[in-house]
Amino acid sequence: MKKPEERSSDNASIRMLNHVLECDLSTLWDRHEGMEPQCGFGSLGICCRICMMGPCRVDPFGDGPSEGICGATHDIIAARNLVRMIAAGAAAHSDHGRDVAHTLMMAAEDESCDYQVKDEKKLGALAAELGVETEGRSYREIAKDVAEIAFSQFGQQHGELVFTRRAPDDQVKRWRAAGVVPRGVDREIVEIMHRTTMGVDNDHENIMRQGVRAALGDGWGGSMIATDLSDVLFNAPVWLRSRANLGILKSDQVNIIVHGHEPNLSEMIVAASQDRELVELAREKGASGITLGGICCTANEILMRHGIPVAGNFLQQELALATGVVDAMVVDVQCVFPSLGKLAKCFHTEIISTSPKAKFPFATHVEFTEEKAFQTAKEIVRRAIDKFPQRDAASICVPDETTPLVAGFTAENIFQMLGGHYRRSYRPLNDAIMTGRLRGAAAVVGCNNPKHLHDYGHVAMTKELIANDVLVVTTGCTAVADAKAGLLRPEAAEEYAGAGLREICRAVGAPPVLHLGSCVDISRILVVLSNMVAEGGLGESIADLPVAGAAPEWMSEKAISIGFYVVASGVYTVLGTPLPVQGAPGLREFLTGGIEKLYGGKFAFEADPIKAAHMMIDHIDAKRAALGLGGPMYEVPYASKTSEQVVEAAG
Q: Which residues bind ligand NFS (CB under 6 A)?
A: 261, 296-297, 314, 335, 446-447, 476-477, 519, 556, 558-559
In the list ligand SF4, ligand NFS, none, the entry touching 407 (Cβ below 5 to 8 angstroms by class) is none
Q: Tell me the CA distances in angstroms from 9 to 320, 542, 551, one per residue in order.
A: 16, 34, 17
Closest separation in Å from C-beta 455 to ligand NFS: 12
Judge contact between 477 and 558, C-beta under 8 A: no
φ, ψ at 308 (rounded to 5°): -65, 130
Give whichever of 211 and 517 is closer to ligand NFS, judged by the CB atom: 517
Q: Tell me the CA distances in angstroms from 35 to 13, 451, 507, one per residue in order.
A: 22, 11, 50
Angle between helices 74-109 and 185-195 (to 10 degrees): 150
Closest separation in Å from C-beta 78 to ligand SF4: 11
In the list ligand SF4, ligand NFS, none, the entry touching 297 (Cβ below 5 to 8 angstroms by class) is ligand NFS
Give whichever of 19 and 558 is closer to ligand NFS, judged by the CB atom: 558
Give whichever of 543 and 555 is closer to ligand NFS, judged by the CB atom: 555
In the list ligand NFS, ligand SF4, none, the entry touching 234 (Cβ below 5 to 8 angstroms by class) is none
φ, ψ at 165 (rounded to 5°): -65, -20
312, 274, 317: which is closest to 293 by C-alpha?
312
Closest separation in Å from C-beta 80 to ligand SF4: 8
In the list ligand SF4, ligand NFS, none, the entry touching 87 (Cβ below 5 to 8 angstroms by class) is none
Taking the C-alpha atoms of residue 599 and residue 585, their distance in angstroms, rounded to an integer, is: 20
Angle at alpha carbon of residue 232, lines to 228 and 233, rounded to 5°:
120
Closest separation in Å from C-beta 300 to ligand NFS: 8
Residue 124, classified by CB atoms within 10 Å of its CB into exposed (0-12), middle (13-18) or buried (19+), is: middle
Closest separation in Å from C-beta 105 to ligand SF4: 41
Give whichever of 194 and 345 is closer to ligand SF4, judged by the CB atom: 194
In the list ligand SF4, ligand NFS, none, the entry touching 344 (Cβ below 5 to 8 angstroms by class) is none
Judge contact between 439 and 504, C-beta under 8 A: no
Closest separation in Å from C-beta 86 to ligand SF4: 18
Give whichever of 512 and 552 is closer to ligand NFS, judged by the CB atom: 552
Closest separation in Å from C-beta 582 to ligand SF4: 18
Judge contact between 620 and 547, C-beta under 8 A: yes
In the list ligand NFS, ligand SF4, none, the entry touching 620 (Cβ below 5 to 8 angstroms by class) is none
In the list ligand SF4, ligand NFS, none, the entry touching 48 (Cβ below 5 to 8 angstroms by class) is ligand SF4
Closest separation in Å from C-beta 297 to ligand NFS: 3
Cβ atoms < 10 Å from Cβ of 413:
15
Closest separation in Å from C-beta 393 to ligand NFS: 32
Give whichever of 79 and 229 is closer to ligand SF4, judged by the CB atom: 79
Question: Whole-angstrom distance between the N-terminal and C-terminal Cα of the chain?
Answer: 56
In the list ligand SF4, ligand NFS, none, the entry touching 100 (Cβ below 5 to 8 angstroms by class) is none
Closest separation in Å from C-beta 146 to ligand NFS: 24
374 alpha carbon, distance to own chain's centre: 27
Give whichever of 143 and 295 is closer to ligand NFS, judged by the CB atom: 295
Q: Tell me the CA distances in angstroms from 400 to 12, 250, 251, 254, one per residue in order.
A: 7, 10, 11, 17
Q: Which residue is nearest to ligand NFS (CB)?
A: 447
b/e string for 370-388 if b means 16 or more Cβ within 10 A? beebbebbbebbbbbbebb
Give whichever of 115 and 337 is closer to ligand NFS, judged by the CB atom: 337
Whole-angstrom Cα Rg for the chain: 24
520 three-class SS: coil
Taking the C-alpha atoms of residue 69 and residue 88, their distance in angstroms, rounded to an integer, is: 26
175 alpha carbon, distance to own chain's centre: 24
Closest separation in Å from C-beta 200 to ligand SF4: 10
Give whichever of 56 and 406 is closer to ligand SF4, judged by the CB atom: 56
b/e string for 66-100 if b means 16 or more Cβ within 10 A? eebebebbbbbbbbbbbbbbbbbbbbbbbbbbbbb
In the list ligand NFS, ligand SF4, none, the entry touching 613 (Cβ below 5 to 8 angstroms by class) is none
Closest separation in Å from C-beta 447 to ligand NFS: 3
Give the footprint of ligand SF4 on this chain (CB under 6 A): 48-51, 53-56, 68-70, 72, 77, 198
In the list ligand SF4, ligand NFS, none, the entry touching 56 (Cβ below 5 to 8 angstroms by class) is ligand SF4
In the list ligand NFS, ligand SF4, none, the entry touching 477 (Cβ below 5 to 8 angstroms by class) is ligand NFS
Give whichever of 49 and 611 is closer to ligand SF4, judged by the CB atom: 49
Give whichever of 188 and 262 is closer to ligand NFS, judged by the CB atom: 262
111 three-class SS: coil
In the list ligand SF4, ligand NFS, none, the entry touching 68 (Cβ below 5 to 8 angstroms by class) is ligand SF4
Residue 160 neighbours by CB under 8 Å, 6+ apart: 181, 182, 183
Give whichever of 314 and 426 is closer to ligand NFS, judged by the CB atom: 314
Closest separation in Å from C-beta 215 to ligand SF4: 23
Give whichever of 55 and 155 is closer to ligand SF4, judged by the CB atom: 55
Closest separation in Å from C-beta 92 to ligand SF4: 25
In the list ligand SF4, ligand NFS, none, the entry touching 314 (Cβ below 5 to 8 angstroms by class) is ligand NFS
**Torsion angle, alpha carbons of 139, 140, 146, 149, to 10:** -150
Q: Tell me the CA distances in angstroms from 118 to 114, 129, 225, 240, 279, one per residue in order.
A: 12, 19, 16, 18, 25
β-pair partners for 290: 254
Give whichever of 93 and 391 is closer to ligand NFS, judged by the CB atom: 93
